[in-house]
A = this chain, B = another copy of it.
Amino acid sequence: MIIWQIGKIVVLKNNFFEKAKELVKQTGDRATYHRIRTLCLLLEEHHPLTHREIEERLNVKEQLDRVTLYRVLEWMTKKNLIHKIAGDDRVWRFRVNTDLHSHHHAHFICTRCTKVTCLDEFKLKPNPSLPIGYLLHDIELTVKGFCAECT
Which residues of A come within 8 Å of B, CB atoms?
86-88, 90, 92, 106, 108, 111, 117, 119, 121-122, 128-149, 151
Contact = CB atoms under 8 A, between A and B. Distances in A.
Nearest to A129: B121
Q: How many copies does the complex hold?
A: 2
Contacts of A148: 131-134
Contacts of A128: 106, 119, 122, 143
A117 B135 CA distance: 13
Contact of A88 (B86, B87, B133, B143): B86
Nearest to A140: B142
B144 A141 contact: no
Contacts of A129: 121
